[in-house]
Amino acid sequence: MALILAIESSCDDTSAAVLRNDRILSNVIASQKVHEQYGGVVPELASRAHQQNIVPVVDAAISNAGISRSDIDAVAFTRGPGLLGSLLVGVSFAKGFAQAFDRPLIEVNHLQAHVLSHFIKESDDSVVPQFPFVCLLVSGGHTQILLLRSHFEIEVLGQTIDDAAGEAIDKAAKIMDLGYPGGPIIDRLAAQGNADAFHFATPHIPGFDYSFSGLKTSFLYFLRDQLAENPDFIEQNKADLCASIQKCIVDFLLGKMERAVKKCGARQIAIAGGVSANSLLRSSLQQMGQRHGWKVFIPKFQYCTDNAAMVGIAGYFKYLRGEFADISLPPFAR
């Protein structure tokens, strides 16, 4: 039996969680509102907010779990990738906590944590994926099709050669002046729009790789041409624009994933990362699974965007293997 305290601070969410083995006891997330007015994450402000949040967030996670600090057996933390200043706050806190209570440290890779979020159990009958399975990891910083043969044997089948899917969505929202982060806003507006109103082409990239930077540019040029004729074009077509760009990105993501799954012969599929909160992506993945008879795993919303529960589950699997980190370990940005 192991009680794991987990800490996540790689971007703009300060989060702490407590797990008993693979069972979640608490997961506290403090999202930083300060960045909204700047239309993107300001690294310096993010690390300052982490400094303010980290102690109350960890305290809340421990008390929500109904345990005391000295009960913790090991401390897992996100080592990277992420913003260096943000990571430093979580890494330093984890080291301080581990040293104060003389407990081992476990370093966790943020991307691996997103993927392993599917193994978090909320009850005895939680169902988890069986190996091998294919997971599409889609976040603000990463877009990868991964083949998991075990918790730690992960093969990259394809990935973006430039922008991430979340980045493309956030940029489209920014071009339309919708606010930040754009993903949830586009998702909400798209629900009222016609996804076939406009057509945006995705590039032909060989194999299972993606590219999103051209899409952003063609979207920008398309709007510029339309606005030259009608200054109210965006305002009048907001929902249709959101629905169309969302469909374009989701079709691109799942089209490649479908071919990758067929090629490697896996029978179980999953999505992870912030963009996996997208309602069209979730429903389309479900349909794709039904079409082929593949078992589908979609994370609960609280485990899609950045959270410490996923760091805790990755930490638990490393704990079982006795993979502990040295106190001198620095964070890494990429």
- Quick check: 278 binds ligand KG4 (CB under 6 A)? yes
Stretch that binds ligand KG4, among 37-45, 65-73, 96-104, 271-279 (CB under 6 A): 271-279
- Quick check: 306 binds Zn ion (CB under 5 A)? yes
Whose Cβ is closer to ligand KG4: residue 83's or residue 260's? 83
Please report how close the Cβ of residue 327 comes to ligand KG4 at its closest, in angstroms.
Answer: 26
Whose Cβ is closer to ligand KG4: residue 129's or residue 182's? 182
Spatial strand order of the sheet with 23-31 comes to 23-31, 13-20, 3-8, 74-80, 105-109
* Residue 1, number of CB atoms within 10 A of its CB: 5
Best CA proximity match to 108, nearest among 208, 6, 196: 6
Residue 230 token pair: 């009608």
- Quick check: 139 binds ligand KG4 (CB under 6 A)? yes
DSSP state of 325: B
Please report how close the Cβ of residue 110 comes to ligand KG4 at its closest, in angstroms.
Answer: 6
N- to C-terminal Cα distance for the chain? Answer: 33
Please report how close the Cβ of residue 211 comes to Zn ion at its closest, in angstroms.
Answer: 21
Whose Cβ is closer to ligand KG4: residue 103's or residue 247's? 247
Please report how close the Cβ of residue 271 comes to ligand KG4 at its closest, in angstroms.
Answer: 11
Measured CA to CA, the distance from residue 215 to residue 196 in angstroms comes to: 17
Rg (the chain; Cα; Å)? 20
- Residue of this chain nearest to ligand KG4 (CB atom): 274
Residue choice 112, 117, 139, 202 for contact with Zn ion (CB under 5 A): 139
Q: Which amino acid is at 132?
A: P
Number of H helices, E strands in the chain: 9, 10
Q: Which does 170 bind (CB under 5 to 8 A by kind): Zn ion, ligand KG4, none?
A: ligand KG4
DSSP state of 37: G
Phi, psi of 46 (to 5 degrees): -65, -45
Please report how close the Cβ of residue 140 comes to Zn ion at its closest, in angstroms.
Answer: 7
Lay out the site mask for Zn ion across 49-88 (x = CB under 5 A, - = otherwise): ----------------------------------------
Vertex 128, ends 123 and 131: CA angle to 5°?
160
- Quick check: 80 binds ligand KG4 (CB under 6 A)? no
Stretch that binds Zn ion, among 131-139, 191-199, 201-209, 309-317 (CB under 5 A): 131-139
Instruction: Pick out residues in 164-183 that bind ligand KG4 (CB under 6 A).
Output: 166, 169-170, 181-183
Best CA proximity match to 270, nearest among 124, 145, 113, 121: 145
Give the bridge partners for 17, in sequence order: 6, 27
Please report how close the Cβ of residue 82 comes to ligand KG4 at its closest, in angstroms.
Answer: 7
Give the bridge partners for 148, in sequence order: 133, 154
- Quick check: 8 binds ligand KG4 (CB under 6 A)? no
Contact 86/11 with Cβ under 8 angstroms?
A: yes
Q: Which does 80 bind (CB under 5 to 8 A by kind): ligand KG4, Zn ion, none?
A: none
Lay out the site mask for ligand KG4 across 295-314 (x = CB under 6 A, - = otherwise): ----------xx--------
Helix (H, G, I), strand (E, B) or coil at 270: strand
Whose Cβ is closer to ligand KG4: residue 98's or residue 242's? 242
Contact 82/306 with Cβ under 8 angstroms?
A: no
* Residue 73, number of CB atoms within 10 A of its CB: 14
Whose Cβ is closer to ligand KG4: residue 129's or residue 183's? 183
Kindly list the residues in this chain that would bind ligand KG4 in the complex (CB under 6 A).
11, 139-141, 166, 169-170, 181-184, 187, 273-275, 277-278, 305-306
Kindly list the residues in this chain that would bind Zn ion in the complex (CB under 5 A).
139, 306
